[in-house]
Amino acid sequence: MTEPTPPPTPPPGPPLGLLAELTHRCPLMCPYCSNPLELSGARAELATDEWLRVIDDAAAMGVLQIHLSGGEPVVRRDLEQLIARCRANEIYTNLITAGVLLDEARLAALAEAGLEHVQLSIQGSRAETADRIGGYAGGHQKKLEVAGLIREAGLPLTVNAVVHRQNLDHLDEIIELAVELGARRLEVAHTQYYGWAYANRAALMPTPEQVTRANEVVAAAEERLKGVLAIDYVVPDYYAKRPKACMGGWGRQFLNVTPTGKVLPCHAAESITDMTFETVRARRLPEIWADGPAFQRFRGTAWMPEPCRSCDRREIDFGGCRCQAFALTGDAAATDPACGLSPHHDRMVALAEGESTAGADRFRYRTLRQKDVVGSASGG
């Protein structure tokens, strides 16, 4: 006898935001890159007219913000055209960039097309550290210059810093730098361990002491910089008691389109290797959102096992992160081990603490060929 198929859970509403990963191409090689280990090349990327249709479909669904990301999105020569189409559809555009390929003329063109906000990544506060982490010589200095050009182009600036064991002790300097660069917002994001970051976890995992100190630095800066710099702090969940509400719940608010047109419930979803994803080349975006199997799989609460199923936080944290559950337990439906109620929680904490003090600092840099590039690729 087969189990009855549960009725499909419809989405609670249209998605608020869409992450458009326009390309995997990028001059940097950050060892925590959020792209999948298996990167796609330029020839496989969606063409301009395919992206334009994604944008039109997103607008028709009610998407309010599109985050133009990558890889490095500015390598796409049609970026201005895509921004203009977002603008025509009244969609808010946010460019997520490493900055090193931008100049005054390109920024003017992007602003002219209707770009509304730029999020610039930095890899640290000091050139030597930052260039070693990004694997790109001269990158840090270039970013400092580009931050000025972004402000001069009249674009509001958010600085984004992914933090980990090898730059966390400079967090106070990173916050200071964001203020100096004229950012109104700073994202301090503890590394989330999927894909490249999972492969580099032993080189990135902060010590518990570093995390405690970082929490204090952020709390003090938030108070001191009220009205000057808003800080968004992504906490490190290996040391958490309760999991994060990943993506605000699977298939509830966000969707992600990859360079080749795959539609994902979150940018790391491809790390769940037993899942397949539809593409906008085969089916339209609103249909995939409405009833695509990948979106249905963890939408709502019916899929949850215990202890999530009966937990009074099940619609607060939605069981945490599916990718993390898969990475650490082999079961994407398991309770996120970041939760203290998970039977795997203690093992996760022990793993983090052990790795954080083992001193394995070498990075496996992000490369298209997945070949280990070790040591000091540049500047370090």
Q: Which of residues 7-66 bind another protein (CB under 8 A)?
A: 13-14, 16-17, 61-62, 64-65
184 in contact with another protein (CB under 8 A): yes
296 in contact with another protein (CB under 8 A): no
**Any known ligand binding at 33?**
yes
Burial of 52 (0-12, 13-18, 19+ CB in 10 A): middle
The least CB distance from residue 99 to another protein, in Å, is 16
For residue 149, the surrounding DSSP H or E stretch is: helix 139-152
179 in contact with another protein (CB under 8 A): no
The least CB distance from residue 359 to another protein, in Å, is 35
The least CB distance from residue 203 to another protein, in Å, is 28
Q: Which of residues 150-169 bind another protein (CB under 8 A)?
A: 154-156, 158
113 in contact with another protein (CB under 8 A): no
Both tokens of 332, joined, read 């994407």
The least CB distance from residue 77 to another protein, in Å, is 25
Nearer to another protein, 16 or 341 (CB): 16
Size of the chain in residues: 380
The least CB distance from residue 225 to another protein, in Å, is 10
The least CB distance from residue 232 to another protein, in Å, is 7
DSSP string across 167-221? TGGGHHHHHHHHHHTT-SEEEEEEPP-SHHHHHTHHHHPPPHHHHHHHHHHHHHH
CA atoms within 13 A on the CB side of 260: 13
For residue 234, the surrounding DSSP H or E stretch is: strand 230-234
223 in contact with another protein (CB under 8 A): no
Q: Which of 4, 7, 227, 330 binds another protein (CB under 8 A)?
A: 227
Closest by Cα among 206, 109, 220, 133 to 164:
206
Query: How many residues in the shown chain lie near another protein by CB under 8 A?
Result: 26
Cβ atoms of residues 93 and 104 within 8 Å: no
3-state DSSP call for residue 152?
helix
97 in contact with another protein (CB under 8 A): no
Burial of 108 (0-12, 13-18, 19+ CB in 10 A): middle
Q: Which stretch binds another protein (CB under 8 A): 98-106, 172-180, 228-236, 255-263?
A: 228-236
**Any known ligand binding at 26?**
yes
Burial of 48 (0-12, 13-18, 19+ CB in 10 A): middle
**Which residue ranges make up the annotated binding site for [4Fe-4S] cluster?**
26, 30, 33
Name the residues that contact another protein, by CB under 8 A.
Answer: 13-14, 16-17, 61-62, 64-65, 90, 92, 94, 116-117, 119, 154-156, 158, 184-185, 187, 226-227, 229-230, 232
Show binding-site residues.
26, 30, 33
